[in-house]
Amino acid sequence: MTAEEVVSEGCSIPVEGEDITPKKDGGVLKMVKKEGTGTELPMTGDKVFVHYVGTLLDGTQFDSSRDRGEKFSFELGKGQVIKAWDIGVATMKVGEICQLICKPEYAYGAAGSPPKIPPNATLVFQVELFEFHGEDITDEEDGGIIRRIITKGEGYTKPNESASVEVWLEGSHEERVFDERELKFEVGEGESLGLPPGVEKALQSMEQGEEALFTIKPKYGFGTAGSDKFNIPPNATLQYKIKLKAFEKAKESWEMNTVEKLEQSAIDKEKGTQYFKEGKYKQASMQYKRIVSWLEHESSLQPEDEEKAKALRLAAHLNLAMCYLKLQEPNPAVENCDKALELDANNEKALFRRGEALVGMKEFDRARADFQRVSQLYPANKAAKSQIVLCQKHIKEQHEKDKRLYANMFQKFAERDAKEAEQEKEEKKPNGSAMEIDENGAQEQTAA
């Protein structure tokens, strides 16, 4: 503990406490007023929830979350608050109350924050930490991947799809380490290395040199199947400690010229085909999606390149449709068949695969129409003829089911109408009451 008597007119708060600045320059002094519980401290990137009261050294209050009746939250270490807070709150435990004395260079500096905070003001904060939790890095913000940064990385860039990465990782489940490796691979190839999708999503959130702990829910882990290789049961939540040692970003679409896009698209088509043959349909689909993203809106094609681009786009949409059929996702399969038919209106594979997807959606009339068109355009396609028969069978079964449903419905309506008619008839009859004379001569209505 250090103490410093401040010689300042009107000063009522002694400047004292432990110097917690990394530089040990006395910029942030901390004094614990109430001990917290547990041993865990918040990490960089964690969302923290606090109450605070801020005063000047003379005791003048300039801000208070308690007066507003609402806890204040921010992401630690992200520069969302003054430096003193990022430093001070990182040293606190849940339930702790402390005093932070913050010199101007760790607060609002020479400018101050008019009108309440004058220039070059040393500030005093009483802070209480209520809770903290890691950062949700999923697009849907569904809590599926939570990051807690152990060591902050450098720079601002992060790996993108197909970036080359060099990592160290340690996967654990219920405190059992099941995977510990150093790897070099391209983002998008993780499944072939036995990595769950959440790990690649995690990598795309990291800076070079960063080490972080990720909690990965089943949706982004090994799902309902689990992993026989690592002896992971179904629906398991995983923890991965990952260090991103180095990476090289893949070129973005806007960084590539037309020739590079065509060359890379051809490479990705081959990669996708290889993944498909291995039954890795999600990885295959990622390769085909890249082709679409690069070439779909390419407007600077030379005449000799237009046919190449069209052929690659057509193949990408057809193969995406096939991947989605294998993944039992008929809606995106239909969407990609529609895109393929925009490029080639009578494409046999697009019509047939759309028919298959529509069967999966139980839209048998539309499916039959696609198979009939295939049969008309390509008479040698026996599979289309078989599918027409199956669709007709399904349509007939659906009609029979509808007939039974409607018959039952009409029977219920008839019974209801008959019941209502009977009730109406009863209501129109005399009410069956009799008037009797009581001993006092008064009329009294009694039930007959």
How open is the CA angle 420-421-423, to the nearest 5 degrees? 65
How open is the CA angle 54-57-63, to the nearest 5 degrees? 20
Query: In a 10 Å sphere around its CB, with 0-12 CB exposed, 13-18 middle and 19+ buried, how is residue 446 labelled?
Result: exposed
Distances (CA, A) of 253 to 8, 73, 264, 292: 61, 37, 10, 11
82 counts as catalytic:
yes
413 counts as catalytic:
no
Q: Which of 86, 87, 117, 125 is catalytic?
A: 125
Residue 167 — φ and ψ, nearest 5°? -135, 155
Q: Which of 86, 87, 106, 108 is catalytic?
A: 108
Q: How far is 95 from 273, CA to CA, in rounded Å?
A: 56
To the nearest 10°, report the CA torsion of 198, 199, 200, 205: 90
Count of C-beta atoms within a 10 Å radius of residue 25: 11
Pairing type for strands 123-133 and 97-102 reads: antiparallel
Check: CB of residue 111 under 8 Å from CB of residue 119.
Answer: yes
Check: CB of residue 153 under 8 Å from CB of residue 244.
Answer: yes
| Residue 402 CB contacts under 8 Å (≥ 6 apart), including other chains | none
Cα 188 to its chain centre, rounded Å, is: 17
Q: Which of 52, 288, 364, 371 is catalytic?
A: 52
324 counts as catalytic:
no
- What amino acid occupies position 319? N
Residues in the chain: 448
Q: Which of 82, 101, 117, 149 is catalytic?
A: 82
Check: CB of residue 188 under 8 Å from CB of residue 283.
Answer: yes
Q: Which of 13, 19, 49, 63 is catalytic?
A: 63
Check: CB of residue 434 under 8 Å from CB of residue 446.
Answer: yes
230 counts as catalytic:
no
288 counts as catalytic:
no
Q: Which of 49, 62, 72, 74 is catalytic?
A: 62
DSSP string, 203-256: HTTPPBT-EEEEEE-GGGTTTTT-BTTTTBPTT--EEEEEEEEEEEPPPPGGGS
125 counts as catalytic:
yes
Distances (CA, A) of 134 to 84, 144, 215: 21, 11, 9
Q: How far is 357 from 322, CA to CA, in rounded Å?
A: 9
H/E segment holding residue 130: strand 123-133
| Inter-helix orientation angle 330-343/303-326, to 10° | 160
Q: Which residues are catalytic?
A: 52, 62-63, 82, 108, 125
